[in-house]
Amino acid sequence: MPRNIEEILGDMHFFSSLFGEDQRVVQAKRRMLKKVWSLFKVRYCHLVQPENLFLISVPNRVEVLGKHTDYQGGETVVFAGPKNFFAICGRSKDGLTELMNAESSLGTTLMEISNKTVRLLAEATGSHYSYTVAKRLLSNLERTPVSTPCNVKAVFCGDIPFGGGSSGSSSKLVMDFLIFTSAGGIFSQREFRALLRANALKAGMLLNQEGVDDFLLPLSMYLAHYENGLDFGELKGDRGVGTFGGSEDHTAILLGEVNKLLYCRFCPTEVIDKLQLPKGYLIVVAYSGMRAEKTKDTMAKYNFLSVAASDAVSRLNGLCQSSFSYLRDFYRELPAGERAFRASAQLGGCKDLSERAFHFFQESALISEAVEKLREGRMEEFGRLINRSHELSRDYLKNIVPEIEFLQKSAVELGALGASGFGAGFGGSCYALTERTQLETFLDEWKSNYTRTFPEQGNESRFDLYPACRGAYLEKVYGT
């Protein structure tokens, strides 16, 4: 039996089941959802079936370890964060799609979806993602037994920092996908779930992984291909949104669990283990205010790291007379000394490719060691490896801006066990691992040091507790 949205708004357990027990986080989330519902009631309840609505929550992602390793078949440690999008949606009665941001300055996306085409009628912030989702869904489903997407009405709101490096763009894409597939009845269709699982097998995925949802796992890889434009089995891709990345973001966003870090391997996606920080330790995140947005210039820098990795594979295959697909394969097959030699040989005279391969090999070895330290509860050693991961990113990926470098050094000086920039880089955020007893003092001093040194970023920067939270959530609801 669906629940009334008003009932959910009064249920504090609902919010804590998604975001943990911290009451500041819980109350902030309740205010967000209340704002979304209040606006939806006024604007769209008469244009949908109010007894057939859907409530959606999609979190952001924090990357603990594994910088630019996922799309080369490497490993990462990630979790779903406490920043999110909330959305309420329903099937449209008037033949138009409206996706309204509750922050009015960010606009409303208008589209028209028919059996054959998707037309973008009015743009707003994030319209490119909404259009990409609707267009690929229509293309992938039109010759299958699955329903094709319909027009929808939705109101959404998010508190993920723009360009914060915590994958707000992927969260937006996942939210748009859940809006279209829930309101259109696609998400719950057995035929759709069977279609994704069948194509996951064709894409080489290992299903029936212990403790891993057998639908959300292939869905995470499928949605990653909405961004990079690749095929998923026989479900053909197109240009995507222009980001040549992997699927760690979508894995964390869909499969995240409260108080759990996901230790994953990619190409194809595999959840190796679910880890926990020992009691008494926590992660806090500082958003620098320097946006790591996928503007034309920043996307070119980001995509260069992806292209350089692929070029390094080609050069290494030539040197080793091999035919591997990913840097991961060299890491597995070549002895450590030979890996270092191949990378330091500058891959046919190209320093950029040499550094890209060297970084992958070093970060991969570091992750294995760090996971063991965490399992053993050796937190000081785990923290030192976090610091080393940041240094590798700075020195070899060259994606650490001065603001992030300052945040990392400042966190360590204030007593953090470890700190690191994370995400695509070129702006964004830094996380710190600290002891729970230091939380309030640490956050205040970290923020004070930063805003004193970079006053121009003071209004944009944010300093927050970041518990590991539940992944994306979807519930059928009703309301008037």
Least confident of 39-53, 133-147, 323-337: 323-337
| pLDDT at position 353 | 84
d(CA 122, CA 307): 33
Q: Work out the number of other CB atoms within 10 angstroms of the CB of residue 300.
A: 12
- At 6 the three-state DSSP class reads helix
* Backbone dihedral angles phi then psi of residue 463, each to the nearest 5 degrees: -130, 115
| pLDDT at position 366 | 96
Residue 321 — left, alpha, or beta (φ > 0 → left; ψ -120 to 50 → alpha)?
Answer: left
SS (H, E, C) 133-184: HHHHHHHHHCCCCCCCCCCEEEEEEECCCCCCCCCHHHHHHHHHHHHHHHHC
Q: Identify which of 226, 213, 283 has the alpha carbon closest to the alpha carbon of residue 254.
A: 213
Cβ contact 40:398 at 8 Å: no
| pLDDT at position 322 | 83
Residue type, 293: E
Checking if the pLDDT of 337 tops 50, the result is no
Checking if the pLDDT of 173 tops 90, the result is yes
H or E element in which residue 315 lies: helix 296-320
Which is more confident, 27 or 480?
Answer: 27
With pLDDT > 90 as the criterion, what percentage of the chain qualifies? 79
Cβ contact 56:128 at 8 Å: no
| pLDDT at position 458 | 83
pLDDT tens for residues 285-330?
Answer: 999 999 876 555 666 777 788 888 888 888 888 877 788 899 998 8
| pLDDT at position 295 | 54
Q: pTM value?
A: 0.94
**Among all chains, which residue has been given the structure tokens 């099937």?**
91
Calculate the average pLDDT of the chain: 92
Average pLDDT over residues 123-141: 96
d(CA 59, CA 62): 10
Q: Are strands 418-422 and 429-435 parallel, antiparallel or unpaired?
A: antiparallel
Domain spans, the chain: 3-272+469-478
| pLDDT at position 44 | 98
| pLDDT at position 182 | 98
pLDDT tens for residues 185-204?
Answer: 999 999 999 999 999 999 99
pLDDT tens for residues 82-106?
Answer: 999 999 999 999 999 999 999 999 9
Average pLDDT over residues 465-478: 97
Q: Work out the number of other CB atoms within 10 angstroms of the CB of residue 368.
A: 11
Cβ contact 50:6 at 8 Å: no
Cβ contact 299:243 at 8 Å: yes
Judged on CB neighbours under 10 Å (0-12, 13-18, 19+), 373 is: middle
d(CA 369, CA 384): 11
d(CA 205, CA 460): 40
DSSP 35-103: HHHHHHHHHTGGGS-TTSEEEEEEEEEEEEE-TT-GGGT-EEEEEEEEEEEEEEEEE-SSS-EEEEESS
- Quote the tokens at residue 158: 């998010």
Average pLDDT over residues 251-280: 96
Average pLDDT over residues 124-141: 95
- Quote the tokens at residue 208: 């029936």
pLDDT tens for residues 359-411?
Answer: 999 999 999 999 999 999 999 999 999 999 999 999 999 999 999 999 999 99
H or E element in which residue 32 lies: helix 23-43
| pLDDT at position 242 | 56
Cβ contact 433:252 at 8 Å: no
With pLDDT > 70 as the criterion, what percentage of the chain qualifies? 94
Cis peptide before 268 (omega within 30 of 0): yes
How many whole angstroms from its chain centre is CA 433? Answer: 20
Average pLDDT over residues 154-183: 95
Judged on CB neighbours under 10 Å (0-12, 13-18, 19+), 323 is: exposed
CATH assignment of 3-272+469-478?
Answer: 3.30.230.10
d(CA 80, CA 255): 8
Least confident of 126-135, 319-328, 389-398, 455-464: 319-328
SS (H, E, C) 344-403: HCHHHHCHHHHHHHHHHHHHHHHHHHHHHHHHHCCHHHHHHHHHHHHHHHHHHHCCCCHH
Average pLDDT over residues 217-225: 95
